Structure 1
C-alpha cells in the first residue's frame, strides 16, 4: 500500500508558481478578487497590510496557503495518491478552492478509483466568470499531464 504524500513536491510547487506568477503588488484577479504574491487571496483583515510585499513574504504566504490547501485535499481523498497526483490535485484546489474541489466530479472519480476519468475532468475547469481562459486551459492541461505521469 502506497503512503499518502503529506506535502506538495517540487514539481507541484513549480507548476503552481508558473501559473500563479509572482506579483509583489496587490491586483484584482480574473474574477475581481484582490490577490498578491503567488496567488494569495487577500482577506478583508489583510487589505491594509498587503499592498506591497517582498519575494520572501510572497514565499511565506505561499507556504501557508499551500499547507491549508494540502490539508484540505488530504481530508477529501479516500484513496492514496502518487506524489504527482497529489501535486496536481493540490494545484487544482489551490486555484479553485478546496470547496470547489470537494464538489468536483474529478474528486468523485478519483475516490472511486477511476484515474483516467478523474484526469479528463481537469479540462472542464478552464473558465473564470463564465469565460474560457487560455491560461486556465494551459494550467489544467499541465495539471492533467502531471496527474497522469
Structure 2
C-alpha cells in the first residue's frame, strides 16, 4: 500500500495513525537486527534503544516497540511544544522525533521557531535534517519532504474557514 493511501486512511483516525503510517513506511519492517547507515544496531521499524545484533523479533513484538517508541515521540512533542498543534502537524513532528530523538528535537531551531509562533518556519526546518553521519541520505530527503508537507497541511487546515 502506498504512503499517500496510508496517510489518507490514517487521517481519519488522527495523529497517531498518520505518524504510524509515515514511520512504518520510511523505517520499513526488518525483524532481524541490522546496522543502520551510521552503524547503530536497529530492528523492526527503526527501533534502536534495545536492539542488539543477532536479535530477531516477532511481528507482534515489533508492533509493540513501534507503538511504545511512537508514544515516547508524541510525549516529547506534547511536552516541548508550547502551542496547540493540529493532528497532521503533530504527526509530522512525532515522526521527526522518532527518527532524530528527543534531545535533537529539544535543541533544534525547529522547536525554537515553533514555540515562537513561526509554525511555517518550523515546518520548513524539517528539510535541513537530511544528514546522517555527515552524509546526505536520499531516504531522509524524501522522508523530510513528507513530514514537511504534513506539517504544513496541518497549519493550512487550521486556517481554513
| More contact order relative to length (CA 8 Å, sep ≥ 6) | 1
**Structure 1 residue 8, shift from structure 2 partner:** 3.8
TM-score by length of 2: 0.83
Structure 1 stretches of at least 4 aligned residues deviating more than 2 Å after TM superposition? none
Secondary structure in structure 2 of the residue aligned to 1:107: helix
2:41 matched to which residue of 1?
A: 34
- Number of corresponding residues: 140
Cα displacement (A) at 1:55: 1.1
Structure 2 unaligned spans of 5+ = 1-13, 154-161
Q: Which of residues 19, 30, 36 is equivalent to 1:12?
A: 19
The equivalent residue for 2:92 is: 88
In the alignment, the residues of structure 2 paired with residue 126 and residue 24 of structure 1 have an alpha-carbon distance, to the nearest angstrom, of: 25
Q: Is the 8 A contact 1:123 1:137 kept in 2?
A: yes
What's the Cα RMSD here? 1.5
* Larger relative helix fraction: 2
SS in structure 2 opposite 1:9? Answer: helix
Q: Secondary structure at the match of 2:120?
A: helix
Q: Which runs of 5+ in 1 are unaligned?
A: 1-6
1:47 paired residue number: 52
How far off is 1:14 after superposition? Answer: 0.4
